[in-house]
Structure 1
Amino acid sequence: MNDLVWLDGRILDTRNARIAPTDRGFLLSDGLFETIRISNCKTPHLTRHLKRLAEGCAVLGLPAPAPALLHKAVADLLEATALVDGSLRLTVTRGTGPRGVLPPHVPHPTILIQAAAPPPNIPSAVSLGIGRYQRDGASPLSRVKSLAFLPSILSRMEAVAAGLDDALLLGTTGAIAEASAANILFLNENSLYTPPLHDGALPGTSRARLLEKGLCHERSISPEDLRAITGAWLVNALSLTPVSGIDIHEMSLHPEKDHLLRMFLFSD
């Protein structure tokens, strides 16, 4: 029953769930979200997501929901939906407020958790282009999963309109930052690299696990560097997708490396 949601302490049918018209998340994108993988009725990396959520709340000056509350909310929703595999979307906004930019002195956050089954069609490989939108790695907001997602939305729309699957966003440094909804891994001489945070990459949970394990390393990759790149993958909390090409640069597929990465990321 994926038409159920957890909203501010209650499990409701989606048709009966209501968010106030004055909610700042709806009006001003004043909030954060996390996308969390469900595997065999469990959320194996929930603690990582809640840690990043709390760090993001600190950046926004937003009261972070208690981890115990969110753990119970996730467990209750998983039980109610009986979802075995899929994902959860956890959204936290600053809640309702008066007109204007300045938030209320004492915010009352809105918390929404939605469950979704796995997508029916997962591409075997994707083609990418370099988009025209940039990420500012020097901004604290580049480190949080903000609801303000328009650069990613427009990048994906423009890529699809050009006959591609997705776009890479550059950082203000001129180096590649990430794709519209995923970090990127580059293969060069059998070593894996991912853009550093100062180039605008979001600190993704799967990215962090790969770095901690030593399976990839941080390195700035400019569009000119793509000539030396032999393979690439998009990676986020839910998936690992090989890249078939970036603009005019064709990428080879690497089944053995792909299998190694999948086993590490998704075998739990």
Structure 2
Amino acid sequence: MSLIYHLDGELVERAEATVHVDDRGFRYGDAAFETCRAYGGTVFEWDRHLDRLGATCETLGMAEAVPDDLKARVDETLAANDLGDAYVRVSISRGVQPGKLTPSVEVDPTVVVYVKSLSRGGVDGDPVWDGSATVETVDTRRIPDAAVPVDAKTHNYLNGILARLELRGSTAEEVVMRDTDGFLAEGATSNLFFVDDGTLKTPAPGTILPGITRRLVVELADSVGVAVETGRYRQADLREADEAFLTNTTWELRPIGRADGAVVGGGAITNRLRTAYDELVEARCYR
């Protein structure tokens, strides 16, 4: 069955869902987006995703671009595709404007909702990933906040693309980027956690995109009695960790099997947090 997307207020067949070549999202990456996950027809953590989308649009100087009926558009797209468990991506570009770098004050945004099927989540679900992740620290550094705001989730993913290009010829599935001072930052599409002597550690905000799943895991850790520390860590801290995992909306919590060749893996704390996450999804979305 052909997928149906939502484009500028209308449901459109995937093959017909196109944007103009003068759209600034295409020309410059001048657009905001959010990747969400629907479980049983409910978009998990929607309010937080919407808040971050609005904040990114505000950073881009187009706060008014987020439509009031955006949630309804997402629900319509899921229903049109008969999907309850799905990947959901919402994109908002500045729209079609003349081919010059300086944006116009007036904004006529292009708004797209894209969905695809995923497996069931929650207590009775299955992860979308196949096995623990292998990660590799790369030379590409995370762009500093002083250059591009790290909390803005935009279409311009060149930083992550260049980092992933370094994996060509490698068996690694995700990169670990460092900041310009050499401290651990994040993956191309994921946040990083590791366990050291019973404490859950994660790079501090300021050099990372503060992920929705990352924030939720920190909250869950507090609820199940796991101490959490944020700070600045070196490459060796990850390689020598007792446990480690990655987080993002699609993967949820994915254990790191190997980091730069060193065996790490999951463990009791990773499993406890994965269980807590599954139980939360089950309670909010399937009951």
TM-score by length of 1: 0.92
1:247 aligns with 2:260: yes
CA distance in 2, matches of 1:122, 1:181: 14
Structure 1 partner of 2:181: 173
Structure 2 partner of 1:202: 209
Structure 1 partner of 2:111: 111
CA distance in 2, matches of 1:28, 1:102: 11
Structure 1 partner of 2:271: 259
1:219 aligns with 2:227: no
CA contact (8 A) 1:2 1:116 kept: no
1:79 Cα deviation (Å)? 1.2
1:138 Cα deviation (Å)? 2.7
Letter in 2 for 1:27: R
SS at match of 2:63: coil
1:67 Cα deviation (Å)? 6.0
CA contact (8 A) 1:155 1:166 kept: no
Structure 2 partner of 1:18: 18
Note the 1:53-92 alignment, pairs <5 A. Answer: 53-66=53-66, 68-92=68-92
Structure 1 residues 173 and 266: CA distance shift in structure 2, 3 A:
farther
CA distance in 2, matches of 1:209, 1:64: 28
Identical counterparts, % of pairs: 26
1:34 Cα deviation (Å)? 0.6
Structure 1 residues 106 and 171: CA distance shift in structure 2, 3 A:
same
Task: Pick which of 97-106 and 139-148 moved more.
Answer: 139-148
1:68 Cα deviation (Å)? 3.6
1:211 Cα deviation (Å)? 2.5
1:141 aligns with 2:154: no
Letter in 2 for 1:196: A
CA contact (8 A) 2:242 2:264 kept: yes
CA distance in 1, matches of 2:238, 2:172: 17
RMSD (Å), alpha carbons:
1.9
Structure 2 partner of 1:127: 134
Describe the superposition over 1:191-233 as per-residue Cα deviations: whole angstroms up to 9, x where unpaired.
11111122x2111001111223425331221113235412110
CA contact (8 A) 2:85 2:118 kept: yes
1:64 Cα deviation (Å)? 4.0
CA distance in 2, matches of 1:39, 1:71: 15
Structure 1 residues 147 and 136: CA distance shift in structure 2, 3 A:
same
1:189 aligns with 2:202: no
Letter in 2 for 1:177: A
CA distance in 2, matches of 1:235, 1:195: 13
Structure 1 residues 177 and 54: CA distance shift in structure 2, 3 A:
same
1:105 Cα deviation (Å)? 2.0
- Unpaired runs of 5+ residues, structure 1, are none
CA contact (8 A) 1:53 1:64 kept: no
CA distance in 2, matches of 1:157, 1:63: 33
Structure 2 partner of 1:32: 32
1:174 Cα deviation (Å)? 1.4
1:168 Cα deviation (Å)? 0.5
Structure 1 residues 34 and 221: CA distance shift in structure 2, 3 A:
same
CA distance in 1, matches of 2:266, 2:51: 34
Task: Pick which of 58-67 and 78-87 moved more.
Answer: 58-67
- Unpaired runs of 5+ residues, structure 2, are 120-126, 282-287
1:28 Cα deviation (Å)? 0.5
1:11 Cα deviation (Å)? 0.6
Structure 1 residues 64 and 169: CA distance shift in structure 2, 3 A:
farther
Aligned with residue 164 of structure 2, among 156, 159, 176:
156
Task: Pick which of 241-250 and 20-29 moved more.
Answer: 241-250
